[in-house]
Amino acid sequence: MSHVESSYDVVVIGGGHNGLICANYLQRAGLSVCVFESRLEAGGGLCTEETTIPGFLHNLASVFHDAVEIMPAMKDLELARYGIEYVKPEVQLGLALREGRPFLQYDTVEKTCRAIERRSHADAVAWNAMAEGYDEYFRTLIMPALYAPPPKPSEQALALEETEQGRGFLRMVRATPLDVACDGFVDEATRAALLFQLLVPRGVVYDSAGLGMMIPLVVTGIEQSHLAKGGSHHLAHALWRALISAKGKLRGTLRVSEIVIEGGRAAGVVLETGERVKATKAVVSAIDIEQTFLDLVAEKHLPATFRKTVASHKPDEFSLFGVHVALREPPRYRGAALEPDLDRACKVGVGFESTADFHELFADVRLGRLPERPRLFACCPTLFDHSQAPPERHTAFCWAIAPYHLKDGGADAWDQHAAAFAKRCLDAWREVAPNMGGDNILAMRTLSPRDIPRKLENMREGGVFGGRMTQDQLDAFRPLPELSDYRTPIKGLYLAGASQHPGGGILGACGAIAAEAVAEDLRIHPWWS
């Protein structure tokens, strides 16, 4: 069957938020851009579905949008005009402990310190001191760096050496999050609350060498959880509306099967339908690097050593097991008797009570064992946005940190263990919220680590962060040193996925920086600067 070849200046592979942001910037720079998305609804992890009962909306991947107050695309693309609205819960975090007073973190340092004071005077003082010491530093230096190409390691160190805060930051770069949490705070619940918040949405494990500097980021509260009204897919809708308004194109349910290379340069794509699409100036891949180089680029166009290096890229260290429920009433936590605000916390940690819990959990994950006692991230979005469920009804979910590959049976073994593990998760949730069972649960849907790449194939091995967040895959080494500037060994082929600096989560940085790289090479003025 013959196909008429269509042509654009830029073709973007993948309609997740990074691909859509990149496309929006380039379309507004005067280029003709088309995004190809394999799923029916663009947005990647921004997927909201009625997966239990009609009228009950469940966010199956992305939920906590912590960077919307600092994300340049929100203002640059005027996304509020295209329908996206957010709510920021006052109570950002609660740890539901089996005994004793819960830990609470609020949307301001002052309110958080008042809550910590009720547990530990020493930690309240230490929290306030760390926040005051690093707030301006993070706002003026660290956060803007998320939206710029990563500097060389030596350049970063030289800049940090100039100030007291910078030298303190360098010291934390040599420590683990556990080291910094234990050095700075005495209460086990405070330490657990800090380490808990690094896992989701940041993908940072408690004992990762060189990532201790993430602790002040949590303490300052510069990044705060926001929930998209109407569900996370409303951000995707705003992005594609903005693109269409700018005369860009988005074509769904069309899978790219090949990146066309002509004369050593990316010249377009071939779709699974057989249609060829020409890209006269650039092809931008907003999917993972494994699909890009091992599946879509023919082997003859890349050195064997490069393909081997791509294949060695380390996936996320852990995955998430999701239990999504339709409810008659929201979770009611036992700990609310001591701290009533626990019942209106955005994120609730279950089973994260001390540093020992992290040791135990990751001992299981690293050996591929199903945790006997699941540790959960719980959230009830309808406490803050009633539009996601029918009147006087609610939706909620819990994520359990879990391995992708099980010791016995590998990833496919999740299919036989999912139902039993979901029950184990609900049992753990009910231990601290007794109403999370019985006729309060109207319906349930699970999403196991194995189900994640079945639904969103860009999330390889059930990883939602685009690759392991360790020092050898961060900054100038993310995802690989030779790919860290968003360019590739093939001229005209660029990368914009979560594999790039600064990583996963709804930051919008990977798409924005990729657009800047394309504009620079084409000598187009980046209007957004």
For the stretch 79-130, pLDDT in tens is: 999 999 999 999 999 999 999 999 999 999 999 999 999 999 999 999 999 9
Examine the pLDDT at 2 and tell me if it is beyond 60: no
Mean of the pLDDT values across residues 308-334? 98
| Spatial contact of 433 and 331, defined as CB atoms under 8 Å apart | yes
- What's the CA gap between 184 and 178, in Å, rounded? 10
- What's the CA gap between 197 and 200, in Å, rounded? 6
Whether cis (ω within 30° of 0) applies to the bond prior to 72 is: no
Structure-token match 């990977």, residue found: 510
* Token pair for 49: 């579905």
Residue extents of the structural domains in the chain:
108-220
State the pairing for strand pair 227-228/86-87. antiparallel
Average pLDDT, the chain: 96
- The whole-number pLDDT of residue 158 equals 80
341: which residues sit within 8 A by CB, 6+ positions away?
Answer: 91, 94, 104, 115
Examine the pLDDT at 3 and tell me if it is beyond 60: no
pLDDT-derived band of residue 141, with 50, 70 and 90 as boundaries? confident
**H or E segment to which residue 132 belongs:** helix 121-137
- The whole-number pLDDT of residue 156 equals 73
- The whole-number pLDDT of residue 1 equals 43
- The whole-number pLDDT of residue 4 equals 62
